[in-house]
C-alpha cells in the first residue's frame, strides 16, 4: 500500500500492514504515541505483547480515525488514501481473532 490508489483493501494482511504503518507513525513521535498510550492504558513495554492482536489493531485504527489530523498526516506520509485506513479497520474488525 505504498502508492496512492483507488484500489480497495481486500486482505487481512494488507489491512494489518496499514495498521502496523499507523503504529510506526504514532511511535515515531512521543507527542503522537503518548496520548494513544494514555487512552489505551498501555505502557510502551506492553506494545510488543499486544502488537499481534487483531483487537489491538482495530483499537489503534479506531484511535487514528477519530483524530482526523493524525489520520490525514499518516495517510499522506504513507502515500495512501485515508479511506484505506477506514477499510483496514473494517477488514480487521470482521476478521475477529483469526490470523492471516
Cell matching residue 87: 477499510
Cell matching residue 83: 479511506
For the chain, the domains span 32-42+57-100
Helices 68-78 and 12-27, axial angle in degrees (round to 10): 110
pLDDT in tens, 59-85: 999 999 999 999 999 999 999 999 999
The Cα–Cα gap between 9 and 61 comes to 14
pLDDT in tens, 24-68: 999 999 999 999 999 999 998 998 899 889 999 999 999 999 999
Q: Is the pTM of this model over 0.85?
A: no
Amino acid at each position: 500500500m505504498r502508492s496512492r490508489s483507488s484500489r480497495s483493501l481486500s486482505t487481512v494482511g494488507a489491512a494489518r500492514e496499514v495498521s502496523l504503518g499507523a503504529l510506526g507513525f504514532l511511535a515515531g513521535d512521543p507527542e503522537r504515541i503518548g496520548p494513544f498510550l494514555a487512552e489505551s492504558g498501555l505502557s510502551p513495554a506492553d506494545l510488543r505483547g499486544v502488537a499481534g492482536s487483531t483487537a489491538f489493531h482495530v483499537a489503534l485504527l479506531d484511535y487514528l480515525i477519530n483524530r482526523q489530523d493524525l489520520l490525514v498526516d499518516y495517510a499522506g506520509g504513507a502515500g495512501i488514501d485515508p479511506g484505506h485506513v477506514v477499510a483496514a479497520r473494517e477488514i480487521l474488525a470482521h476478521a475477529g481473532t483469526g490470523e492471516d
